[in-house]
Chains A and B, each alone.
Chain A
Amino acid sequence: MDFTLSGESKMMVKAARDFAEQVIEPVAAKVEEENTLPDDILQKFANARMLGMMIPKQYGGIGSTALNVILITEELAKAGSAAIYTMVMNNSVAETIYHWGSEDIRKRFVPPLCDGSSYAAMAFTEPGTGSDPTAITTIAVPDGDYYVLNGTKRFVTNGHRKGYGIFYAKDETERITAFIVDKSSEGYTWSKPYPLMGLAGQGLVDVFLKDVKAPKENILGEKGKGFDILLRWIAGEKVQQMAFMVGMGQECLNESLKFAKERMVRGRPVTAMQGFQWMLAEMHASIEASRWWTYRLAAKQDEDSDIQVDSAALKLFVVPIIQEVARKALQIHGSYGYCKDYKIERLYRAIAHAGVTVTSTEIQKTIVGSALARSKGI
């Protein structure tokens, strides 16, 4: 068991740090204020070759590893901005299309996700369901060479941005099928982006499908097996999301240390006081444990192992303790941390998202608990 990161991985992290400082941080406050991303942000990620990192070169990627994706996600996350989600989505959706797609589908839809000409979207949730496939009401009816899709999808990241998305609908057999939909199709419309508590600019919209045509050759994977595609994508997405949490948690600690070393109380810096030292120690231990488990699951992805239960357990562990890290960071900053002038305010709101998106913390308990109940023991 080797816990040493390679020189290549360390250099990628360093480049991601420079990218965050030079590209993300300068626009982060404006993104929060205006709830929108700069138009060229996805292209900047593409130019840095951070999109489709796990995709082989012949499909436009660079043939890297899930671990390297996780490492740069963690580093970029320190900026605490939704801008990073554009990269996260394009990486995870490109990998999903590559994994399940036919050669024709790979060639048509993976390169645009790698070169930044397409914003990735994944649309399952509906007004009436978040996780239950039986409650899906979007339907896909065959009509000649096409399927005609009708329905409403909720909280679709990048639903309003150009490119392609994976949309889940009940086909004529009442089973869930995944369709790759062109977001410029006739009948495809969307709502205004939801104003969010944190990670403004992420671009969560409702998408309305009215007689939207998807060619039959755009079915991803096997017809009627869409839920399998969704579950595998969610497992990988959870690992990326936890890397995002680890990065933001680390930045909470970095900001807290910087503040506490300078903040003087009765002639001593706050860091000289045991009560604050204990908070800092607990934050550090929580982040380290979260970090290494996240890396472990990325390594399992690289081994092509099934991580559906493991990723649920990871999320079950990481979300509450990184949220506690953010709470402690706020306490260390005192009233200053509640002011928008301090980065901790933005991080605190951003960290709140992970407990309720990409499936809630409570769902993780059900996944892990039911798996344990079915198992013969570890």
Chain B
Amino acid sequence: MDIVVCIKQVPETTDIGWNPETGTLMREEAGGILNPHDKHALEAGLRLRETHGGFVTALSMGPPQAEDALREALSMGVDRAILLSDGLFAGADTLSTSYALSLALKKIARFDLILCGKESSDGMTAQVGPQLAELLNLPQLTYATEMTINGNSVQIRQKMEDGFRTVETCLPALITMEREINQPRIPTMDSIMEAYRDKETEIWGGEDLGGAKGHFGLKGSPTQTRKVYSKKIKKGEVTILEGGPDEVARELIGILRQKDLL
């Protein structure tokens, strides 16, 4: 089974600045980590390989320092790592990112399954996975908390707002992952050494992907950020209710109703 896992490097902290002109994150200011949801997607891919055999490729787009996220994927055990990195891609929104990833996947050509984290911890749009499936004209199953391969089909347990449902589709397909799906492995010390000393990360630019240059980066991004600001959180007063449990519960319900919260 050939699996491609799409991963992203995200800022290590939420304390990161914005470029006031472009409205994009100033990623170079913060240290980068592998997006937490993507780790679960990698783990899912590696477990499928262990069960069914095959080949796992990690694919990412970002500035050169995003290579660290791919080195982490290599240390977890993926077979191949590809970074899409080119000035052309800078400032990409989710659509432009999906476009570049879709071209890379067409270039990779052989895959049965594309796995993505549900969302990135910085943008939190949860759009790239679904957009990528549309651009590749593939079926998509999202928010997976369990995943099973049955012959030429894949079944997942999908997390809904108010419960779960089981859905199935044929391969090839794209699946996005919830954290509940697994516990990602911790890379061993020797696998980290191999990832940095013995393995290669391929770097692909715009020329390698082909496609329409106008669809890459900021130019290819229909999302225009007008204003970016940090949400101010006002701290309210704390009221401690005293008395027995029944009495306190009644009083709390009364207060919530007064504030139209119930």
Contacts and interface: CB of A to CB of B under 8 A. Distances in A.
Nearest to B72: A11
B192 interface: yes
A170 to B, nearest CB: 39
A281 B88 CA distance: 44
Interface stretch (A15-23, A30-38, A346-354): A15-23
Interface string B187-227: 11111110111000000000000000000000000000000
B68 interface: yes
A8 B196 contact: yes
Contacts of A68: 189
Interface residues of A, number: 20
Nearest to A68: B189
A50 interface: yes
B189 A48 contact: yes
Contacts of B188: 15, 47-49
Contacts of B8: none
B239 to A, nearest CB: 16
Contact of A62 (B68, B183, B190): B190
A72 B187 CA distance: 13
Interface in B156-213: 183, 186-193, 195-197
Contact of B186 (A6, A8, A22): A22
Q: Sort chain B's interface into a size bin.
A: 10 to 19
A15 B187 contact: yes
Contact of B192 (A8, A22, A47, A63): A8
B195 A11 contact: yes
Nearest to A8: B196
Contact of B75 (A11, A22, A47, A48): A11
B238 to A, nearest CB: 11
A7 B189 contact: no
A64 B191 CA distance: 12
Given A15-B186, A22-B186, A47-B188, A8 B193 contact: yes
B236 to A, nearest CB: 15
Nearest to B186: A18
A41 B86 CA distance: 45
Nearest to B65: A7
A7 B190 CA distance: 14
Nearest to A65: B193
Interface string A61-83: 01110001000100000000000
B71 interface: yes
Counting chain A CB atoms within 10 Å of each CB, the highest count among B68, B183, B190 belongs to B190
Interface string A282-301: 00000000000000000000
Given A7-B68, A11-B71, A11-B72, A50 B189 contact: yes
Interface of A: 6-8, 11-12, 14-15, 18-19, 22, 47-50, 53, 62-64, 68, 72
7 contacts: A7-B68, A11-B72, A49-B188, A49-B190, A62-B189, A64-B193, A68-B189
Interface of B: 68, 71-72, 75, 183, 186-193, 195-197
The 8 closest A-B pairs by CB, nearest first: A8-B196, A62-B190, A49-B189, A49-B188, A49-B190, A18-B186, A11-B192, A15-B187
